Structure 1
Amino acid sequence: MESYYPDQTDLAILKLLQREARLTYNEIGRRLHKSKSPIIDRIRRLEKLGYIRGYVALLDYELLRECMMAYVHIQLKDHSGEALELFQHTVEGYPEVLECCHTTGANDFILKVVTSSLQSYNAFLRQKIDRLPNIGQVSSSMVLAQCKHSTAVPF
């Protein structure tokens, strides 16, 4: 893969797309005082190089019926590279896991998990997390309200 760091125009495009991914090439060009053609080329390059991994709609969890979110703090017993990789690979396959972060501090991983109910969350813990090899301690923080939800990277 070619080595490339986005210039100021690329960064401006990324900022716009983070806020409004449905902007047309024409609208992005208008806002940045550029024509459509170079905007298309730049966006395609940013996609090809992995700076833009995809486009999604951000949902309001509180408006969705039967939807609850929790952060799961996990300590592993074994910290070898193989054990960490196995854990990560396994939880990546769980649709309930929206995010998996390998962290420093008391916990090895923090998972952002969404399920339809407390009962389904309990089933997720018992049938998936608790059955994984190498699990030490598991603690959960249930989300009562979400005051901010963003995926935009500040740069």
Structure 2
Amino acid sequence: MPISALDVLDRKMLQELQQDGRITNQRLSELVGLSPSPCLRRLRQLESEEVITGYVALVDPVAVGLSVTAFVRIRLDRQDDRHLAAFEEAVAGFPEVMECYLMSGEADYQLRVLVPSLAAFEDFLRFKLTRIPAVAEVTTSFALRPVVYRTALPV
């Protein structure tokens, strides 16, 4: 669904659902000013058009032992389609990689990696990341603490 096709009610529904993905249809309908049936129809439409792509529980990484956040910039020695695809397939299989972006500028990729310790990061780097063909350079910055962390999009 193109963004222009979202009306005020759709946007209000998305805002509410991003704050509480477990909200009942009854409560959602009250908050957006619709009766329950039309609200549910709109919700199903947003899901079927993949404006809403899923529902998740947000987990505190530190609470589950993942206290080290690393931002890793990767430079490949070859940027042809085969090497890009191989890199992307490899990192998609690493559970430590929370996000991976193809970048413009000095780095080809930027990753957000979560691990329990610096030793675990070293293992990730030595035994996984640097073993991917065409990885030429790896630069890492470690997060000291989050300042802004949002999951809700500004709709």
Q: TM-score, normalised by structure 1?
A: 0.90
CA distance in 1, matches of 2:48, 2:73: 34
- Indicate the percent of aligned positions where both proteins have the same amino acid: 34
- Note the 1:98-137 alignment, pairs <5 A: 98-137=98-137
2:11 is matched with which residue?
11
Q: TM-score, normalised by structure 2?
A: 0.90
Moved more, 25-34 or 76-85: 76-85
- Note the 1:1-155 alignment, pairs <5 A: 5-155=5-155
CA distance in 1, matches of 2:96, 2:151: 18
Q: How many residues align?
A: 153
Moved more, 15-24 or 63-72: 63-72
CA distance in 2, matches of 1:31, 1:104: 41
Shift of 1:7: 2.4
Secondary structure at 2:128's aligned position in 1?
helix
CA distance in 2, matches of 1:38, 1:117: 49
Partner amino acid for 1:54?
G
**Shift >4 Å, 4+ stretches:** none
Structure 2: stretches of 5+ with no match in the other structure: none
Shift of 1:61: 3.1
